[in-house]
Amino acid sequence: MNPVIALVGRPNVGKSTLFNRLTRSRDAIVADFPGLTRDRQYGNGRLGDKPFTVIDTGGISGDEQGIDAAMAEQSLLAIDEADIVLFLVDARAGLTPTDEAIAQHLRVNQKKTWLVVNKTDGLPEETATVEFHALGLGEPYPIAASHGRNVTQLIELVLEPF
Ligand code: GDP
Ligand code: MG
């Protein structure tokens, strides 16, 4: 079984853009408005001779009530199926209450979780990531999915144990 990487986070943080880059496809629909990926979507990627599977999710809008509801069902299923969770946040939008609600769930989940700060293109890495330390999920990892910044390095890191 290939290691399975789930992409979770609010709508519009760049999950589908990262999915497309990792799977070298355009299967996931990237849009300027949230909520287009309604179901889980599966794709395969490869790093060197290491194959992996990626799951894209529609995201968690935060309009739901309560922490359980706030973790949209598809995201919960994707987390269950995954070996590795990449929790994406948006450097341009900054830290939001929904990010905090998602982080609260992920901190108690048993899955290995990486905090990934997307859209850091044009921003110094330190400035882009500093506020996300507050999420309590370790060192935030800066990337730019649409530009490819740090994406290969991130995947090398997360696949290291596999
Ligand atoms: P999703 O809802 O989390 O799947 O987000 P999408 O992948 O659909 O992306 C939402 C918007 O963010 C789109 O307009 C993307 O082009 C844009 N976006 C994604 N990654 C980046 C990035 O690294 N930098 C910038 N500046 N924009 C990005
Ligand atoms: Mg999407």
Task: State residue 24's pLDDT score.
Answer: 86
Domain that holds residue 54: 4-159
Least distant ligand from the CA of 39: 2
Q: What is the mean pLDDT of residues 11-36?
A: 76
Pocket of ligand 1 (CB under 6 A): 11-17, 30-32, 34, 37, 59, 118-119, 121, 144-147
* Residue with CA closest to ligand 1 atom 14: 32
Task: State residue 70's pLDDT score.
Answer: 46
Q: What is the mean pLDDT of residues 97-110?
A: 90
Position 11 confidence tier, pLDDT thresholds 50, 70, 90: confident
| C-beta contacts of 119-125 below 8 A and 24+ residues apart | 119/13, 119/14, 119/90, 119/91, 119/92, 119/144, 119/145, 119/146, 120/91, 120/144, 120/149, 120/150, 121/146, 121/147, 121/149, 123/91
ipTM value:
0.99
Task: State residue 76's pLDDT score.
Answer: 85
Ligand 2 being an ion, which residues bring their Cβ within 5 A of it?
Answer: 15-16, 37
Ligand 1 binding pocket mutation candidate from 123, 146, 154 (most atoms within 8 A of CB): 146
Task: State residue 30's pLDDT score.
Answer: 59
* pLDDT tens-digit readout, 29-66: 555 544 545 567 889 999 999 999 999 987 776 665 55
Task: State residue 81's pLDDT score.
Answer: 92
Q: What is the mean pLDDT of residues 130-150?
A: 97
Ligand 1 binding pocket mutation candidate from 17, 96, 117, 120 (most atoms within 8 A of CB): 17
Least distant ligand from the CA of 10: 1
Task: State residue 4's pLDDT score.
Answer: 96
Calpha distance 46→119 (Å, rounded): 23
Q: Identify the CATH number of the domain in which residue 34 sits.
A: 3.40.50.300
Residues annotated within the binding site for GTP are: 9-16, 56-60, 118-121
Task: State residue 1's pLDDT score.
Answer: 86
How many structural domains are present in the chain?
A: 1
